[in-house]
Structures are given as C-alpha cells and as structure tokens.
Amino acid sequence: ALDSDVVFHEFGHGLTWRMIGNMDSPLSGAIGEGMSDVVAMLINGNDRIGEYSASDPAGIRRYRYSNYPLTYADVTGAEVHDDGEIYAAIGWKLMAMFGAARRGELFDYMVDGMNFTPASPAYEDMRDGILQAVANGAKPNDRCKIWTAFAQFGVGVGASGVVNPNRSVT
C-alpha cells in the first residue's frame, strides 16, 4: 500500500466501475486493469508499475510500456492483468504523443470518454468513447493521435473485440 502506483491503480478501478459499470467480462476486465495502470502512469509519469512493491526496477508487468511488443490480437482472456497490459500500452503511447505538458488534458479525455462508453466494453468501445470526448471540446489533431495510438496496437478501424484463447503469449 506504500507504492503510489498500486494506490493510483486501485483508484482507477473505482473510476472505471463507477463511470462505466459491469467491468467483469474478459475484455472489460482487461480494460479495467489497463486503465488502472494508465491512471498510475498519468499521475506518476513512468512506464513501469509497482517497482517499489515488487522490489524490482522492472515493476510487476511483463514488459515496460514503452516499446510494448503485444497487440489486441494477443488478448487471450486467460488473465486480465496480462490482457490489460495491452490497453495500458495504448495509454502510454498516448502519453508519449500528447507530451508531458498535455498529460492533464489527456487524462480529462480518457475520463470523460468513460461517459460515452457502454457497460462491458471492448477496447474499441473505449477508443470510441475517448474520441467522443475529444469531439466535445478539443483539437482535431488530438483525434488523429488517438486513432494512431489505438491502431498501433490493433484497435484501429474495423477492430472487433474477440478473446483469442488459442494465442500463446509469453
């Protein structure tokens, strides 16, 4: 409980459950885990989670979020934390694209996007919610950044949330 990543991560669960609701399917559970990591990253500004609690500078996730190697096609439904890493990697990419000076604005988009996201969402539902939040008050170039970040991880045009249990991710 002394690791701020863990505290902010847990706060993120309250945020998604209250704003979206029904976050217990394989995809929405993964989004909840990923968005919770995004909350911690937006507040703390680094690409690792839980370094202090793990006593490991690499943290508790399989990979650092910068240069994250997996995509939406790697979602297996076997473990929400692992699948959630992919959503968190999208959040990290967005942070890099928006830059530190606009981190608060990105946080606003991501939280406001939950108002436009249906219960039990897939990754593309979250993407569309964030895009709607941007359309409600922002700069056209921000929509392009959001599309680019999601598309880099397989959640672009035509993406369809399907759990791929036959995929072996190591």
Dihedral sign from CA coordinates of 146, 151, 153, 159: positive
CB 22 within 8 A of CB 58: no
* pTM of the complete model: 0.93
What is the predicted pLDDT for the residue at 138?
A: 60
Rounded-to-integer distance, Cα 136 and Cα 120, Å? 23
Structure tokens at 5: 């990543």
Consecutive sets of 10 residues in the chain, 170 residues long: mean pLDDT of each? 89 94 92 97 96 94 97 93 97 97 94 96 96 81 95 93 63
Structure tokens at 56: 């490991």
Structure tokens at 159: 């993406």
Integer CA distances (angstroms), 35 to 39, 88, 140, 154, in order? 6, 6, 24, 17
